[in-house]
């Protein structure tokens, strides 16, 4: 067969497949749930917004693979039935809020856990746009167990759990753009050390070893989430069993104001931690911001010292880069237990330490990090020029140009960045094109501001 004939045949087959797509997608239906609906409505009626079903369980009962359930404003009990699996990222079975409605899912008190479960191998399902309020009735908000895969959890508020936000194993899961807070609070499952009931909620005595996300599987993407007021770790990539966590990426998350924890196992008071990487190869943490984590609380004993990012000994060929870890005066920016770890191009500012090697014989590569104190791996010791570090604004001062009072203010700001960027550039063996382009762009802005100042001076003369 000639190349031309092969190309024509391939194109014909492609157009044939594309021609099938509308028919394949057309069957997907949208169903509605509302607080003024009725579960006596048929599934056919529930496809009309004026005749929705009342409960999420009933609404989910109408779904087939690739369908969507839209939930209108109000408060509902969390679903306890599984939706059918979708078939791909482009054909998800989706449960989401209707438009921009405020939709809250509550959790009944049913023992320790009453979470939303994705299990029994369910796959290609999305949960989007809800306020998931555990009400301190459950130790877990979303459970991933029994081999689910490719679950999307997006744009939710996940709060008020006595332990975890999301926990389990899930190959290819995508956890994005959620807010996690008030996680790991003690009530109502433990008492204070003197035996009295724990107040609810409390930030002083929380469940130890909790996590916003505790995930133990491979090819997981955790991105663009925000975490605050959590007891243990914000993100923990870890599996104590045989399942690897290979190729999991933790990126662009904002982790701040961790509240610390009381370890109920009797081993003392703990601080709060940022990110833990363990039990896999090629794990990456990049573009994250970690600030204002609580150090070890006051009390009779102390254990499990906190940290910004921990790379455990079971992490192979793992990378920590382009993160900003700052204003954590009671904990080091990075603790590394794994040989072969790469730590580059980070900003480590105003922490208790920079890179803490707590394991004998660990060898790692660290370079091109900007720090506030001279330390191994810190190629630049310079003020990163945050807009307002004390006010929890870690944006770089380039953004101040719009507010600059005159050309002199702008020149001072941009000169500070040029000095820092040039210092980093001189230490780099490999200069990424994007970094070179950034320096060139900053230089052009610098020259433009100089020219504008000269013109303005001439106009005054």
329 pLDDT band, cuts 50/70/90, is: confident
Is residue 239 predicted with pLDDT exceeding 50? yes
How many CB atoms neighbour CB 2 within 10 A? 7
In the prediction, which pLDDT does 442 show?
Answer: 57
Is residue 458 predicted with pLDDT exceeding 90? no
Whole-prediction pTM: 0.79
Q: Which two tokens stand for residue 224?
A: 């663009």
Is residue 341 predicted with pLDDT exceeding 60? yes
Identify the CA nearest to 236 among candidates 187, 200, 186, 183.
Answer: 183
Q: 405, exposed or middle or buried, with CB in 10 Å at 0-12, 13-18, 19+?
A: exposed
Phi, psi of 51 (to 5 degrees): -130, 60
Give the C-alpha separation, 139 to 159, whole Å.
Answer: 11
**Higher-scoring residue by pLDDT: 178, 139:** 178
**Higher-scoring residue by pLDDT: 5, 159:** 159
In the prediction, which pLDDT does 2 show?
Answer: 39
156 pLDDT band, cuts 50/70/90, is: very high
Tell me the residue ranges of DSSP E strands in 56-177: 68-71, 74-77, 93-97, 103-106, 116-118, 123-128, 131-133, 140-144, 149-154, 157-161, 164-168, 174-176
Question: pLDDT per residue over 375-402, tens digit each?
Answer: 888 888 877 777 676 666 666 654 444 4
Determine the average pLDDT of the residues in 261-266: 49
In the prediction, which pLDDT does 414 show?
Answer: 53
Identify the CA nearest to 308 among candidates 261, 271, 267.
Answer: 271
Mean pLDDT value across the chain: 78
Residue 159 contacts residue 130 (beta carbons within 8 Å): no
Residue 16 CA: distances (Å) to CA of 9, 286, 356, 395: 11, 41, 58, 50
Is residue 198 predicted with pLDDT exceeding 60? no
Q: What DSSP designation does 239 have?
A: -
Q: Which two tokens stand for residue 87?
A: 């078939």
Give the C-alpha separation, 456 to 289, whole Å.
Answer: 39
In this structure, the chain runs to a length of 461
């Amino acid at each position: 067969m000639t190349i031309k004939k092969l190309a024509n045949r391939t194109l014909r087959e492609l157009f044939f497949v594309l021609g099938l797509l509308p028919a394949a997608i057309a069957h997907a239906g949208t169903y509605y749930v509302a607080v003024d609906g009725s579960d006596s409505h048929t599934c056919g009626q529930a496809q009309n917004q004026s005749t929705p079903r009342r409960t999420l369980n009933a609404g989910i009962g109408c779904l087939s693979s690739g369908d969507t359930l839209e939930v209108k404003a109000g408060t509902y009990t969390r679903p306890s039935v599984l939706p059918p699996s979708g078939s791909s990222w482009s054909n998800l079975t989706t449960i989401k809020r209707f438009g921009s409605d405020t939709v809250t899912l509550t959790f009944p008190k049913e023992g320790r856990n009453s979470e939303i479960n994705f299990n029994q191998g369910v796959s290609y399902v999305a949960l989007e746009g809800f306020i998931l309020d555990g009400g301190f009735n459950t130790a877990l908000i979303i459970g991933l167990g029994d081999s689910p895969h490719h679950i999307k959890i997006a744009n939710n508020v996940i709060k008020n759990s006595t332990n975890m936000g999301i926990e389990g194993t899930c190959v290819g899961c995508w956890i994005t753009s959620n807010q996690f807070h008030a996680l790991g609070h003690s009530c109502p499952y433990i008492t204070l050390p003197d035996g009295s009931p724990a107040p609810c909620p409390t930030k002083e005595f929380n469940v130890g070893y909790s996590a916003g996300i505790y995930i133990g599987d491979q090819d997981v993407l955790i991105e663009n989430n925000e975490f605050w007021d959590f007891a243990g770790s914000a993100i923990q990539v870890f599996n104590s069993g045989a399942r690897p966590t290979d190729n999991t990426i933790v990126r662009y998350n904002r982790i701040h104001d961790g509240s610390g924890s009381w370890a109920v196992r009797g081993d003392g008071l703990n601080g709060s931690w940022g990110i833990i990487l363990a039990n896999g190869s090629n794990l990456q943490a990049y573009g994250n911001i970690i600030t204002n984590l609580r150090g070890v609380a006051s009390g009779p004993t102390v254990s499990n010292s906190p940290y910004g990012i921990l790379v455990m000994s079971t992490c192979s060929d793992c990378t920590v880069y382009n993160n900003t870890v700052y204003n954590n005066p009671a904990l080091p920016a990075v603790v590394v237990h794994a040989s072969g770890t790469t730590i580059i191009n980070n900003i480590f500012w105003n922490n208790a330490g920079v890179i803490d090697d707590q394991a004998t014989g660990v060898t790692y590569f660290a370079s091109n990090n900007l720090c506030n104190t001279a330390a191994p791996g810190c190629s630049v010791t310079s003020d990163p020029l945050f807009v307002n570090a004390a006010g929890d604004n870690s944006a770089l001062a380039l953004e101040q140009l719009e507010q600059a009072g005159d050309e002199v203010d702008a020149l001072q700001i941009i000169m500070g960045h040029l000095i820092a960027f040039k210092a980093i550039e001189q230490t780099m063996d490999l200069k990424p094109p994007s970094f070179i382009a950034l320096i060139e762009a900053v230089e052009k802005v610098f020259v433009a501001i100089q020219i504008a100042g000269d013109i303005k001076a001439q106009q005054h003369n």
